[in-house]
Structures are given as structure tokens and as C-alpha cells.
Structure 1
């Protein structure tokens, strides 16, 4: 629908920003230009809507026809943090991929960036649809910007973007759009198994209490809009949180406006009834989890690498272990890399050097 230039930076700036973020720089070869794309896609219910995303292209060298890296971002509660809107880690990573001589496509997902409405957090099907539609939009826009996408796609992402990368990979692997050929998936720290891995970890200490509260509040309010767990937030959340928890996760509140508005533990956040429901899910809650826990149920025809860390207290290693088992059970091959006793974000920065070097540029 529209292409908005976001500026050009030279190779030196790409390298400087990557070094400040602790990212590798040896693959950086070119300056890059960034653009915000606004494009048509669909809601989780299949209705027409729009979304935005970031397209980054090399500017001063390399081939005219380039492969594409699709980078899925991690959990964002505020639309203004999306890579097509704000400078930040996802824009830095996207520039780094493009500086090697590739196109980078970084979808904002629904309800983030300049897209309307609220973000359907952990609705992996609509995130994959928005990502594929962003890829289509980028393919249409790129020739007018001096490059063409050659059809090869490398899917990657961090945290929430990890399961989006797997969902997009599954769609491309099945031939959902013949213009694009999946070549590899490299996903870091994804919550691929909410029912069997992520949910139990909220209660046994593997997820830190602050993260458990944030993710749970975001998940329940977002998924309620799709699966109707409750009619009144007071059924789920204790006072005083019930009065404002839904508005905190309306895509319009930055982190400093959410900070201090939630309690320190799940016991303080949830009513007794819903605390037990989360420990032993059933009904529409269980249906929602199983609807989204599908991203590893396919047989890849391409290399798949899952990166995680034993020390991750946001998205425990068990998610990636169970994902690898499911891919293997479908007859696929998958490599699991454990980055050791490090945090969620350190696992990403440790994984990025291998990912950036493994995706070809020609």
C-alpha cells in the first residue's frame, strides 16, 4: 500500500551499532537503506486489515537479485517499539543481515507498528500470515528500490519470533507461495510448547516471577479477545489489577507505563480459580494453547537449527527440546544448540554470529 523511506546508513554505522549491541560485525559489507512497508493482510478471523513492517536493502554493492532473511522480533507490548517505527535491537539486526548483501524483511505483526487494533499475542497463525504477506509486499516493493528478491528465504527470529519463524517455515515448506523457496530456519528461544513446557515453568521456578506475571497478563488478555476465556477481567485478575490490566496491553502503553502496574507474583495477579486453571488448563484455555502449539509439527526439507539456553528464565530450554522431538517425530532433521547457563537475551547474542554467517549472500 505504501513505502516510507526511513533513511540510509553507511557500513561504518552498521558496524558501530552492531558492536554497541554486542552483535558480530564480520559479515557487514555494504551500507543499507530501510523502508516501512504498509500492506494488506488479514486478522485472525480472516477479515481484511493492514499491517506494517521493515524492509532493509543493501545500497552500495552486491547483486541486484538477493536472498531474503525474514527476522521475527520478540515480545513487544507497545506498537512504538516495532522495527519499522523505532530504532532499536530489531532494526540493528535487520541492518546487519542486509549489510551482508541480503534483503531483510522484519514484520511488525498485527496491531504493532502502524497497524490498527491490538496485537493478538501468541496467535501464531496470524503472525505467520502477516509475515508471509509482508514477504509478498517486499517482493513487490523491492524492484522499485533497486533490488529484486530472488525467492530464497531464510527464516529466523528470537523469542516470540522463534515460533513465528517456525510457523512461517512450515507454511513455505508446504509450498504456500510458489514464488518463495525456504532454504533454512534458525530460531532462538521460542515458546513452541506453551502447554507442555512454558506453562509448567511458570509455576516451578524455571521462569522468573516478574517474567511470569508479564507474559501471563499479556497472554490472557490478548487470547481472551480471540478465545473468550472470561466476560469480566475480575473473574481472572485480582484487584486492583483487574481494573487496568486489559488497557495496559492495548498496544499503546510503553514499558515505563506498564512497569509498577502489575504485582510481583502470579498468586498476587490471579484469582484462586484462575491460578488453578493455569496449573491444570482445560476448556477454551487448553484449546487456545493447542491451537498455537503447532509450529513444530512438520517435516522440514531444509536445515532447521533451534537455539536456546539452560539458563534461560524467560523461555526455558524445554520448549526447544520438545520442539526438536516433534520435528524428529515427523521425520525431519533438526539441530539443537544449548548456549549454556546464560539469560534469554544472551542466548540470542551468542547465537547471532552463527546465524549471520550461515545464511548465504549469493
Structure 2
């Protein structure tokens, strides 16, 4: 029934607007002659607490997305929203508390688990993080409708939001985005076991923009380190910056105005801190921007890269002599690996925020490694924001093929 509804949705061209989107320990087998004292330790517990935020009827859920005339037909189950608090590791390796929201359809049927990674949220807009579950966030609206169609949705806040808001968000840091999302999935699974919520064995991954990058990183981490816990059924990352080294060169070589340089500053600041490079702002930026960004890292910046970035820094990256920062970029290159589960890359061909080549490079590299179930889904003429609605519909249609 779900598949037929989505096909009907697609056929009528009814697109949901998700405007906010843009912006491991594995256990080994115990041999029969292995003494009990040498048996592996019990799996680490991640779930700390759960709080019911509310239960929402199908009528209420349908009303949250009035731009979808067929929302009433798509909505299938009431849902309950729970705030989960769980443990994960900060980029420095310290165990910290993190949070997220778990959306649970009200049914006894065993359902798949879907990890939804949200897009960029500025620190001054922190209340849009999933665990607040407030009107105006994509998790409250469209993702809740998605859950009601028959998915148990795990939506991590990431480090730096929700209960961990006192910590800096490791923006576009692949390892911690992935681990925070995976540990939220572990906490979600523990919650379902504790509350007798039936899960089947299918696991889906979705996310756009920073969420697309996080989704790609999560898929890779799950496949490489957590296959004994979760098998990825299918994933559909959208418009992520998967090829960081090429992206950095694109920015620093650019001669045309770039409207999103302040966001790129955030990435640079994150890598400077996370990788303990710890250079002053004056190393990276010209004055007066260096002093202004020191005071407010999210302040206004010029649109020309040559005006903002110090010429010595630009040259050191472009001539490959800045070994520390180049190593950080390479550590966040997640485009060149071989996924074994179906993966569809969605990206607007006119995206001037996260250029299309990020998805094209990932597709080419994955195919070259022998990945046979990877697809490239260009959104013709779409920019980073206008592509969101098309991504929403087509990504849902893609994962529904494997439901």
C-alpha cells in the first residue's frame, strides 16, 4: 500500500517543501572451548534516558504539511515522539551525552529503522535541532509524515545541539557526524527492545546538505565497523560535500563571488580545532575579517575568496604545501569507497553552495571500485535550495523500492 501511495504522489507531482533541509565495538564468535571468563564483554549501553514528547494523530500529522494535498492519503499511523539521551564520543575521544528524537508509529507491526540526518543549523538557531521537536523544523513536519508511512525514524541532533549544546558543533567532520548518528541508532534499538517496539531487519539512511554528508559518512561507518549490528538496506544522501579536497581547491581558486563563504569559514574553523592545528585566525584570513571572525565566527564576510582568505594560506593549499590542513581535508574525503548496499546520490546540477562535482566524483569513484548498486540522480537546473523538494520525493521513492 505504501508503494502505491508514493507512486500516486509522484505521478501527481506533489512535492513536499523541506526548506530547512538545505540550510564500535564488534563481538567475535566464542569457540566452544573458550572459558567463560574470556568471553567478550556485553555490548556497551548507549541509551541514557527517554522522554515522551507527545502522541500525534494522523489528522494532526497531515495538517503539518498543507502543501501536500495527498498528505492524508500518505499518513498511515499515528506516531509517538520521544527525546532520547545517549552517550557518544566527542572528536577528542571523550564520552559525552548527546540527544535526538525517535519517531515511533503506533502499530504492532515490525517496521524498518530509518536514520535521518538533518541539514545545517546555525548555533543561533539551535532550537531547530530534532530533539526540540518544534514547529518549523523538518523533523516536526515532513519527517514526521515520513515516519507515519511506516518507518521508525532516528534523528540525531549531532554534538553541539540539544543536551550537548554547550559543546562546539564539529561542522562537516565526517567521523563525529557518523559516530553520533550510529550511537543514536544504537540507543534507538535499545529503546525499542526495552519498550517492545517491533523492528524488522531493514535500515535506511536519508539526509540533505550537511545531512547528506553525514548520511554518506554513516553508511560508510556502518558498513565498515558495525555490520554485525546493522545492515544498510539502502541510503539516499543529497547534495553533500563528499570530496573535501577538491571542494577546498574550488573555493580557494574561485574568482567569482561565493554567497556562502561564512559557512566555509565554519568548516575551516572546525578542522583547525578538531585536528589540533590551532592556528590563529590571522593565519587564514585577511584583516579586518580575521579580527571580526575572532569575535564572531558567524559574522558577515566578503563574497570574494581572494578578499577573505590570506594569500599565503591560499597558496599553501593550492601548491600542496600545507600538510596539516590538507590531511584534515583528506580525512573528510568520503567519496572514494565501495558501498555494498544500494545508494542513490541526489544533487542539483546548478548547485552553487555545494557544487555538483561532489556527487559526480563519488559516483565515478564508487563505480571504479566495482560498486554496482550506486546511482547518480542529477536534479537538472536545481540549485542547493530549489532541489530540496525534488530530492524529498525522489529519495523517498528510491528507498521505498527496498521497503
TM-score by length of 1: 0.87
1:23 to partner: Cα distance: 10
Going from structure 1 to structure 2, the CA distance change for 1:6 and 1:283 (only over 3 Å counts) comes to same
Going from structure 1 to structure 2, the CA distance change for 1:19 and 1:267 (only over 3 Å counts) comes to farther
Q: Is the 8 A contact 1:56 1:95 kept in 2?
A: yes
1:296 to partner: Cα distance: 3.0
Please say if 1:80 is aligned against 2:123.
no
Please say if 1:238 is aligned against 2:281.
no
Going from structure 1 to structure 2, the CA distance change for 1:13 and 1:313 (only over 3 Å counts) comes to farther
Q: Is the 8 A contact 1:24 1:352 kept in 2?
A: no
Going from structure 1 to structure 2, the CA distance change for 1:289 and 1:11 (only over 3 Å counts) comes to same
3-state DSSP of counterpart to 2:113 = strand
1:233 to partner: Cα distance: 1.4
The CA RMSD measured in Å over matched residues stands at 2.6
Q: Name 1:335's counterpart in structure 2.
A: 375
Q: Is the 8 A contact 1:162 1:190 kept in 2?
A: yes
Please say if 1:133 is aligned against 2:186.
no
Q: 1:162 aligns with which of 203, 212, 215?
A: 212
Deviations 1:298-340 (A, max 9, x none): 3222211000011111111100000011111221121101111
Q: 1:261 aligns with which of 276, 294, 300?
A: 300
3-state DSSP of counterpart to 2:262 = helix
Going from structure 1 to structure 2, the CA distance change for 1:24 and 1:347 (only over 3 Å counts) comes to farther
Q: Is the 8 A contact 2:147 2:153 kept in 1?
A: yes
Q: 1:225 aligns with which of 245, 248, 273?
A: 273
Deviations 1:184-227 (A, max 9, x none): 01111011001124541564368x6221x122210111111112
| Structure number, greater radius of gyration | 2
* 1:111-190 superposed matches below 5 A: 111-115=160-164, 116-145=166-195, 147-174=197-224, 176-190=226-240
3-state DSSP of counterpart to 1:50 = strand
In 2: Cα distance, 1:232 partner to 1:226 partner: 14
Q: Name 1:319's counterpart in structure 2.
A: 358
Q: Name 2:337's counterpart in structure 1.
A: 298
Q: Is the 8 A contact 1:84 1:91 kept in 2?
A: no
1:56 to partner: Cα distance: 0.7
1:152 to partner: Cα distance: 1.6
In 2: Cα distance, 1:343 partner to 1:150 partner: 36
In 1: Cα distance, 2:53 partner to 2:70 partner: 22
Q: Is the 8 A contact 2:111 2:200 kept in 1?
A: yes
Q: Is the 8 A contact 1:230 1:236 kept in 2?
A: no
Deviations 1:146-190 (A, max 9, x none): 523323211111011112212211222235152322100111101
Q: Name 2:346's counterpart in structure 1.
A: 307
1:286 to partner: Cα distance: 0.4
Deviations 1:46-80 (A, max 9, x none): 22112111111112x4x442101111112222233
3-state DSSP of counterpart to 1:114 = helix
Please say if 1:43 is aligned against 2:90.
yes
Say how many residue pairs are matched. 348
In 1: Cα distance, 2:138 partner to 2:187 partner: 23
